[in-house]
Chains A and B, each alone.
Chain A
Amino acid sequence: MQAFTTLTAVAVPLDMANINTDMLVPARFLRKPRDERYGSYLFHDLRHDEQGRLRDSFPLNEACYAQAQIIVAGANFGCGSSRESAVYVLMDSGFRCVIAPSFGDIFFGNALQNGLLPVVLPEAQCAALRAWLEANPGAQITADLESQQVSVPGGERYAFSLDPVRRERLLRGMDEIGLTLSRLPAIEAFEARYHAQRPWLAR
């Protein structure tokens, strides 16, 4: 997994609540291999009209956001389907951080598995950040996981928190399988005891 420590990058405001994973990546792309085209599936049906032309109205299509790596969105970002492809399309389009008032639980977990930082800030702070970004299109902001702060140049700082276990894993880019397998003796002892009490689970 890619570690995440701190990131200063262009941020794009997306003033929409309930951005679900079908919007992030429509289901018809889920069969595709993760190759160099993968990032182009991000928000495909919002970015393109039925004829495949880019929609001017969608913020990600604006030139000033071409290098964006941070999204500031509305509540319940990433709700819906568990497809981890929703994280892959973000990562493969260059995004490393999403800031929102709340996230779908499964998306939140998937983001952490891939080194995409999900930052929870109160609704009013997300709205203030989006308003600032709309007044300063293409401006950079900083998301710092070490200090757990989002900051606007020469301006506001917003404190956030990630639970200590997940923060540590993300800061170090730790592989959870390696971590788990280092506990193999405890796992085997647990399973022996657990299955002795439930012999019907033997298969």
Chain B
Amino acid sequence: MSPPSAGTGTLFERIWNDHVIEQGGADDALLHVDLNFLHEGSFLAFAALRKEGRSVRSPQRHFAVADHYVPTLGRERGIAGITDPEVRGLIDLLESNAAWAGIDHAGIDDARQGIVHVIGPELGLTHPGMVITCGDSHTSTHGAMGAFAFGMGASQVKQVLATQCLWQRRPKTLRVTLDGTLGAGVGAKDVILALIGKIGAAGATGHVIEYAGSAMRAMSMEGRLTVCNMSIEAGARAGMVAPDDVTFDYLHGRPFAPKAQHWDDAVAMWRTLSSRADARFDREVSLAAADIAPMVTWGTNPGQALPIDARVPDPATANPEARRGIEAALAYMGLTPGQALDGLPVDRVFIGSCTNSRIEDLRAAAAVLRGRKARIPAFVSPGSTAIKREAESEGLDRVFTEAGVEWRASGCSMCVGTNGDLLRAGERSASTSNRNFEGRQGRGARTHLVSPAMAAAAAVTGTLTDVRRLLAGARA
């Protein structure tokens, strides 16, 4: 008998098998999709669907929300506050497409509005064991709740709308084991940047990552969502964490979570969702939590990340294949080889995005800013309207505004800038978002990806700063 093949007995395999309607080939299957999320960018898929004269097969298995184009200022005026006719048109179009299809929709002034990958878990729409899709690469976020969740393009959004299923090629499996305890001032964002820095921006291409180990089990739901969110930045098809009591405690009582007897039955099923002890993965990577420092990206892809106490790499000492990439990144970023990252002057700070805008992120930033002043322009965009309210009930908004940090409304904002929240050319940001690509935050803009605590520290000092120094100061 041959040994079981890689992928056997994994959490991913279990969810995949549960959703196979039909095998299309050895590694190809028609999968049932439990839930699809839509945002303003879905207009291309709706247009194609309607042009083909098709309808939405299961409208109750979709949820639409305005996030990519909503302004973060002037939101009290709702849709009327948007002056750009193209932006207003896209937000209106999502609403009219959702109404046409009979899909539940959270528009710009809905209490449920927020970034799609924040509100899915927050509303209890995202459940363990689901296959979840969305026309957005950061759909990997939802895997933190024990789902198989992945991004796709407009053609496949159209297919899911029309059929509620999708032909998929089965990815390989990669287990990332994070054992030990994270140090003070080190969080989920540092974990995922350390991983991508280690395996590279294409290090997990073709794979689905399962995050395991004692430090993952100890991590909050918010932290797991951050880690899974950036799985795509390592090239992974999806990231996932086996559901446990952290997951169930987070989900219990949320608006779309199962209720009463259904809750008990669902939890009983979800408890069976984990990789077996003898599960075989195609690849394994491990990280020691205690070795991870606060991280910062220095280049133009998320794999170009280093601990804050490191120096900018020298292309002269890099291998020839990496050399030109490093040289190009340093030229774009305006950095010199060997330069210290700690102390590098920054122009602006952005705290937000589907990566780092949840309540725990805002608390971490506020803990650094409390009683201090920002020396450079900074703003916070909470991940959802509900998180904004929750933060305000805790007084976090006052911590930010008293520090001179703007407190704005919820949306994708300066992560992608489609709503107009952008840096000017040459400006340098410390940003809690997920992509430091050239031009991502504005043409010629220079992005350093950091955690919320590190972003707050940069606001206080006006430079990239090891937040651990400020935390030590706060304790003294």
Contacts and interface: CB of A to CB of B under 8 A. Distances in A.
Interface of A: 15-18, 20, 22-23, 26-28, 30-31, 34, 45, 50, 75-76, 79-85, 87, 102-106, 109-110, 113-114, 163-166, 176-177, 179-181, 183, 186-187, 190-191, 194, 197-201, 203
B22 A105 contact: no
Contact of A31 (B60, B86, B156, B439): B86
B437 A22 contact: yes
Nearest to B137: A82
Contacts of A198: 266, 269
Question: Considering the complex of A and B, which 8 residue pairs feature the smallest CB-CB distances, nearest first?
Answer: A84-B153, A200-B258, A113-B155, A110-B153, A200-B262, A76-B202, A165-B25, A82-B151
Nearest to B262: A200
Contact of A165 (B24, B150, B232): B24
Interface of B: 18-19, 21-22, 24-25, 27-28, 30, 32, 34, 41, 44, 52, 54, 60-61, 69, 86-87, 90, 127, 135-137, 139, 150-156, 158-159, 162-165, 167, 169, 171, 201-202, 205-206, 232, 235, 237, 258-259, 262-263, 265-266, 269, 301, 324-325, 328, 416-418, 425, 435, 437-440, 443-444
A27 B60 contact: no
Contacts of B69: 31
Q: Is the interface of B mostly helix, strand, loop or mixed?
A: mixed
A34 B47 CA distance: 11
A105 B21 contact: no
Contact of B440 (A15, A22, A82, A183): A22
B202 A45 contact: no
B84 to A, nearest CB: 9
A194 B440 CA distance: 41
Given A45-B439, A81-B416, A201-B34, 11 more contacts: A20-B437, A28-B418, A31-B87, A75-B202, A79-B201, A80-B435, A104-B235, A176-B159, A187-B30, A194-B18, A200-B262
Contacts of B44: 34, 84-85
B155 A22 contact: no
A30 B158 CA distance: 17
Contacts of B156: 109-110, 113
A22 B153 contact: no
7 contacts: A22-B439, A30-B41, A81-B416, A113-B153, A164-B25, A177-B54, A180-B30
Counting chain B CB atoms within 10 Å of each CB, the highest count among A31, A181, A187 belongs to: A31
A198 B130 CA distance: 11
A23 B438 contact: yes
Given A18-B201, A203-B60, A27 B417 contact: yes
